[in-house]
Amino acid sequence: MTQSMTRPRIFVPRDAIALALGADDVEREIVAAVRSQGIDIEIVRTGSRGLFWLEPMIEIETATGRIAYGPVKPEDVGPLFAIGWLYGQADRLRLGRPEDIPFLKRQTRFTFARCGVIDRLSLADYRAHGGMRGLERALALGPTAIIDEVTKSGLRGRGGAGFPTGIKWKTTADAQAAQKYIVCNADEGDSGTYADRMLMEGDPFCLIEGMAIAGIAVGATKGFVYIRSEYPHAIQILGRALKMARDEGILGARIAGSTHYFDIEIRVGAGAYVCGEETALLDSLEGKRATVRAKPPLPAHKGAFGRPTVVNNVISLASVPAILADGADAYHDLGYGRSRGTMPIQLAGNVKHRGLFEAAFGLTLGDIIDDIGGGTASGRPVRAVQVGGPLGAYFPRSYFDTPFDYEAFAAKNGLIGHGGVVVFDDTVDMARQARFAMEFCSIESCGKCTPCRIGSTRGVEVIDKIVKGERRAENLTLLQELCETMRFGSLCALGGFVPFPVTSAITHFPEDFGGAPLNATAE
Amino acid sequence: MTWNRERAQEIIDAHQNLDGAALPILHALQHEFGYVDREAVPMVAQALNLSRAEVHGVVSFYHDFREAPAGRHVLKLCRAEACQSMGADALAEQARQRLNVDWHETTRDEQVTLEPVFCLGLCACAPAAMLDGQVFGALDEARLSSLIDRARR
């Protein structure tokens, strides 16, 4: 065996999930082993590839490419050095080339191409893997052509609403004002979602590049990234990346050598789920209670501090550099129906293969859970799946033929939201889940709309009565009526969508509410 | 450090020129003192040309801001759906019993404050928790138990 010519490199993920599974302890063991054995090696800190059931997944650069080992525990490190993992030697933890692991091989990594691969805080690495090409082309194209390109790509907002990004940008570009803003919504509060966090921790320059392109396109000179406080690692990494970008002239007075000015500031949330709603986020950014605003005026006309503002999700903005670099067609060619491009599907909860699966729209829910996800982690049958966070519907197995696509989910009274997929096995009590949806809404309601503020509390009470068997039929009717009132009487998606998990639980799992189970064939 | 008006004023002065300065100021105050003292409310109001009611409204709206100091350690357990699917409810019950507190309460020795959190973005290694800003995943009874022991030491 021959050692590679250059100084060998070992890649250690520092994504928050890798850290939560002990990546820091593993790294300490690696450093200790390298020191004691006098090995000349470079430790590179990456984000995660998103194969979280294999984290901490350590990669070694060998003469034949990168070889992954995982999940590595601190006590495995000594033996791995002993068997010769620096030369890619066989071991029970050896996973082979990461690109050949089926979960990764089947993906179309577009937005997440660099995540887990590069040194997340090296601009040289970022450039070497295609970074900054989008910004360079954007500067050559100019504002109108950038917006045309984004519009042609078919990119829709990845935060959940699925609004066409190009149209949003055009509206802001057409608004006349001395000051405009780009606001990145990084208030990723939906349970089951972590794509924004992963991207910010694994490829922060990609978000910075996307925001700079957006700034040039609409004529904004200032950007804010509003990150939830529950993401301290993302806040830290993005902060360091912003400083590096300023030092390198990518942000500031003449971005990337052009005549454009653009800079970005991080703002930290304070534990309010409703800030994921764009107008509540804007109020919070302005230093107020995060209450939802009535629309119109649209943020594109009157957003942050009353100025025209683009509010986009992290993944929407991070998709832009590749769209500009490779052209709108490359993106538009992927997808299904009106849902173009790729979606980072986030498999979470009780599923065997937990991780981020970026793929073109159109896979069925069954493909995602049974095939890609490998069923439950507990080994028990899948009973329910919640897609789209706490406001998403619970789907039974009989809905597994639904294609993963904005319109197909809406047609079944569900939503794909930000792409989180939470799997539950047959031990789940769906009445408890319905109750939790209402309870969560009562905790997180901003209080502006009565149906949401009061309705959610009444919802918890009514579900408690149903479960106790108190006038079950009447109370079920009352709950349905309450859900209708919340659905149509709330300004934003919090009160408006919380009926999705509640009514879907009642419809598909009536036996958990004291009713007769649905006939499997009739459903 | 313990509450100190002069230090608080310095923090307010350092941030008051930011656009929408209220949240950055409140975060900085809490970072310094561990909570937002009642005395800070009129000071922030004065600096930002707001009413005391408006500032109180902001402090009380957000779950993060405390109006009294927490225990020496803060244990946040995720209560959201992905963690529920992996048994978070039972772990929460275990934590409440062992610490003999309910959510948002501090143990009698002021060592640990227990807080619920609705998603740490660690949904692919559920159930998850955060102890003093450090993250932990794939919790089970034994791992949570050692986490609680660590917090109580």
Smallest CA–CA distance from A378 into chain B, residue: B86
Domain limits, chain A: 9-105, 123-332, 336-425, 430-513
Find the range with the poorest average confidence among A213-217, A243-247, A253-257: A253-257
Token pair in block for residue A9? 């490199």
B chain contacts of residue A422, beta-carbon cutoff 8 Å: 81-82, 85, 123
Average pLDDT, chain A: 95
- When scoring A14, A73, A191 by the number of chain B Cβ atoms within 10 A, the one with the most, hence best to mutate, is A191
**Cα dihedral: B97, B99, B104, B110 (round 10):** 160
Quickly state the pLDDT bin for A5 (edges 50, 70, 90): low
pLDDT band per the 50, 70, 90 thresholds, residue B1 = confident
User: Residue A55: pLDDT band by 50, 70, 90 thresholds?
Assistant: very high
Both tokens of residue A334?
A: 């992927």
Neighbours of A37 (CB within 10 A): 11
Query: Any idea which of A4-18, A72-86, B138-152 has the lowest mean pLDDT?
Result: A4-18
Cα-Cα-Cα-Cα dihedral of A84, A87, A92, A96, to 10°?
170
Q: Which CATH number fits domain A430-513: 3.20.20.10, 3.40.190.10, 1.20.1440.230, 3.40.50.300?
A: 1.20.1440.230
Taking CA–CA distances from B84, the nearest residue in chain A reads A349
Contact A440 B85 (CB under 8 A): no
Cis peptide before A79 (omega within 30 of 0): no
Nearest residue in A to B121, CA atom: A194
**In the predicted model, what is the mean pLDDT of residues B99-103?**
97
Inter-chain touch B62–A290, beta carbons under 8 Å: yes
Q: Which residues does A173 contact at the CB level (< 8 Å), separation at least 6? A: A143, A144, A147, A217, A218, A219
CA B54 – CA A425 distance, rounded (Å): 46
What is the band of A180 on the pLDDT scale with cuts at 50, 70, 90? Answer: very high
Subunit contact A232:B83, Cβ cutoff 8 A = no
CA–CA separation, B138 and B124 (whole Å):
9
Cα gap B7→B5, rounded to integer Å: 6
Q: Return the ∠ at Cα A88 (arms to B125 and A47), rounded to 5°.
A: 35
Chain A hits for B84, CB-CB cut-off 8 Å, are 349, 433, 436
- DSSP designation for A248: T
Average pLDDT over residues A70-84: 97
pLDDT of residue A519: 66
Where b means 16+ CB within 10 Å and e means fewer, A4-31 reads: eeeebbbbbbbbbbbbbbbbbbbbebbe
Interchain CB distance below 8 Å, A189 and B119 = yes
- Looking at domain A336-425, its CATH class is alpha beta
Determine the length of chain B.
Answer: 153
CB–CB of A17 and B84 under 8 A? no
pLDDT at A523 over 50: no
pLDDT band at A516 (very low <50, low <70, confident <90, very high): confident
Residues on chain B bordering chain A, Cβ-to-Cβ distance under 8 angstroms? 19-24, 26-27, 48, 54, 57-58, 61-65, 80-86, 117-126, 128, 130, 133, 135-138
Q: Of A124, A155, A110, which Cα lies nearest the Cα of A250? A: A124
Q: How far is CA A385 from CA A52, A121, A509, B98, in A?
A: 19, 36, 12, 32
Task: Decide yes or no: CATH 1.10.390.10 for domain A9-105.
Answer: no
Would you identify the CATH topology of the domain B73-152?
Glutaredoxin (3.40.30)
Q: Answer whether CATH 3.30.70.1560 is correct for domain A123-332.
A: no
Give start-end residues of each CATH 3.40.30.10 domain in chain B. 73-152
- Of the candidates B27, B85, B133, which has its C-beta nearest A349's C-beta? B85
Yes or no, beta carbons of A20 and B128 under 8 Å apart: yes
CB A165 within 8 A of CB A157: yes
